[in-house]
Amino acid sequence: MPQPRQLATNPLAETLTVPDGLTATVPRQLVHRASVAETLLTGGTSTDTDRFTVFAQWPRAHQLHVSPDRSAYEPLLVAETVRQAGTLLAHTAYEVPLGHKFVLKEMRFSTHPEHLAVGSAPAELAIHITVSDIDRRGGRVAGFRYDADVRIGGERVATAHTAATWTSDAVYRRLRGGRSAATVSALPVPPGLPPAAVDRALPADVVLAPSGDPDRWRLRVDTAHAVFFDHPLDHVPGMLLLEAVRQAVSARTRNGRRTPVSFRTVFHQYAELDQPIWIEAADGREAHDADVQVVGQQGESTVFECEVGTEAA
């Protein structure tokens, strides 16, 4: 009799029990997605104290996360998969309540493009995760860091390190000072760069608008975008900011076309919907093995900083 796979011993784990040989996505609420189609994870298991293996499936076609010619998975698919894995673990293994808000503080990941080719069937992933630096407050987990080793068929396709915190809905509302998806509206979306300039097929997926400076762009925040805004938000999501980084690297062609393969990102504060956000790129710091440094500015504040490693396209 096949043994079911489950994540951990707690009430929510029962929802993840799936017999071997069958694949179903985990409940979308556990990864903070509204769309089942955008839910990438299929299950998981606890392997040791604070060690887990989470399973995922990548589609062969996707509006953002598969290359326009459908030949390769995009590096940011790694970021979204690892984000979902941390959210799943928080709710199922560490009993963070479903109503709590996820705050992404840091994400570093490095991909192996030679193992990111789209095959003849959806890719089946095993993500081996180690959780560390667990912050407990009032008897609950309020944050942690985790390392992820992402594999397809035994081949390592990426590694990642993520830091996240969790806050109750009541505390979050106080932190946001009354700003919510219902009370804050995004600015009008300015015309974007040509899709080919940022390696995108559709104008709707372009997130950068020209500024007149070849190394500076305004972020296009389209709250109707079904992937970036899978559900209403009161701020610009981290995945949209990472896509802005990716597109800034693609638009910066003075050294020839480059493809991002690694990202080291620190998020300093929320990116607000109703204020312009400027994306600026410069040559990276050799000490950190980065080819491009990308910074997001809003008013006088730095929203995020990202160091990007690239390869020739």
Residues 6+ apart with CB under 8 A from 176: 234, 270
Cβ 194 vs Cβ 253: under 8 Å: no
- Looking at the fold, whether 167 and 217 belong to one and the same domain comes out as no
Task: Give the containing element (helix H, strand E) for 165.
Answer: strand 155-167
> Does 48 reside within a domain?
yes
- Looking at the fold, whether 198 and 82 belong to one and the same domain comes out as no
User: What is the spatial distance between Cα 30 and Cα 208, in angstroms, rounded to a whole number?
Assistant: 31
- Looking at the fold, whether 35 and 83 belong to one and the same domain comes out as yes
Residues 6+ apart with CB under 8 A from 49: none
* Residues paired with 128 in a beta bridge: 53, 149
User: What is the spatial distance between Cα 286 and Cα 251, in angstroms, rounded to a whole number?
Assistant: 21
Read out DSSP for 148-214? Answer: EEEEETTEEEEEEEEEEEEE-HHHHHHHHTT--TTT--PPPPPP---GGGGT-S-GGG--EEE-SST
Q: Can you give the length of the chain in residues?
A: 313
Cβ 129 vs Cβ 151: under 8 Å: no
By CB atoms closer than 10 A (0-12, 13-18, 19+), residue 295 is middle
> Does 265 reside within a domain?
yes
- Running DSSP on this structure, what letter comes out for residue 53? E
Domain span including residue 305: 178-312
Of 140, 172, 204, which residue sits at a domain end? 172
- Looking at the fold, whether 110 and 185 belong to one and the same domain comes out as no
> Does 1 reside within a domain?
no
Of 172, 206, 225, which residue sits at a domain end? 172
- Looking at the fold, whether 185 and 78 belong to one and the same domain comes out as no
Rg (CA), the chain: 19
- Looking at the fold, whether 282 and 261 belong to one and the same domain comes out as yes
User: What is the spatial distance between Cα 231 and Cα 228, in angstroms, rounded to a whole number?
Assistant: 8
Residue whose entry in the numeric block shows the structure tokens 């204020």: 275
- Looking at the fold, whether 228 and 184 belong to one and the same domain comes out as yes
- Looking at the fold, whether 151 and 187 belong to one and the same domain comes out as no
Question: And the tokens for 189?
Answer: 């979306």
User: pLDDT in tens for each of the 313 residues of the chain?
Assistant: 333 344 544 433 455 555 566 678 999 999 999 999 999 999 999 999 999 999 999 999 999 999 988 999 999 999 999 999 999 999 999 999 998 999 999 999 999 999 999 999 999 999 999 999 999 988 889 999 999 999 999 999 999 999 999 999 999 999 999 899 999 999 999 999 999 999 999 999 999 999 999 999 999 999 999 999 999 999 999 999 999 999 999 998 765 678 899 999 999 999 999 999 999 999 887 656 789 999 999 999 999 999 999 988 7
- Looking at the fold, whether 114 and 60 belong to one and the same domain comes out as yes
- Looking at the fold, whether 160 and 40 belong to one and the same domain comes out as yes
Of 139, 172, 205, which residue sits at a domain end? 172
Domain count, the chain: 2
> Does 111 reside within a domain?
yes
- Looking at the fold, whether 186 and 159 belong to one and the same domain comes out as no
> Does 38 reside within a domain?
yes
pTM, two decimals, is 0.91
> Does 271 reside within a domain?
yes
- Looking at the fold, whether 160 and 225 belong to one and the same domain comes out as no
User: What is the spatial distance between Cα 242 and Cα 207, in angstroms, rounded to a whole number?
Assistant: 10
Q: Name all contacts of 171-174 with Cβ < 8 Å and 24+ positions apart.
A: 172/101
φ/ψ (deg, to 5) at 232 = -60, 140
| CATH, residue 304 | 3.10.129.10
